[in-house]
Amino acid sequence: MPMTDPELPIVSWHAHVYFDGAEQRARAAALREMIARRFAVQLGRWHEVLVGPHTRPMYQVAFDVAVFARFVPWLALHRDGLDVLVHPNTLAPRADHVQHALWLGQRLAVKPETLPERISAEQEDPVRVNTQPDLGAGQAQQP
């Protein structure tokens, strides 16, 4: 599959914030609170048990394409040593988690065999914003 496949528009993005042990979990919780107060995103459940392609406990942050330019640079500065997988959601989940992935911190193992190669547009979960930001993100303004 070519990397510039015009059939694969980016629908949304995910950031998966990984943690290992109680100390990192506490940092992940603090980061989650900071995200919630600054960005209009969908904060996903905590996954203490490994799920899908992930090889560490984590939670997911889903966000719209328009949020990327403010959120990802902010995350790069504020991830507090945590490893974060940032991936686009095209309709090719397996490639999104491997070839299309960006990593903040260390690149961790993922299990691409757990993911379908292609899904239909109807199978792609829309971002449902569940945060109510009350702080700005540095100089960036919230919409």
Residue for token pair 């599959």: 1
Site string for Zn ion, 6-35 (x = CB under 5 A): --------x---------------------
Closest by CA to 138, choosing from 69, 82, 41, is 69
Kindly state the smallest distance separating residue 77's Cβ from Zn ion, in Å.
Answer: 22
Kindly state the smallest distance separating residue 79's Cβ from Zn ion, in Å.
Answer: 16
DSSP state of 56: S
Residue among 62 and 134 whose Cβ is closer to Zn ion: 62
Strand partners, 39: none
Q: Where are the alpha helices (DSSP H) in 18-91?
A: 22-38, 68-78
Residue nearest to Zn ion (CB): 14
For Zn ion, the binding residues (CB under 5 A) are: 14
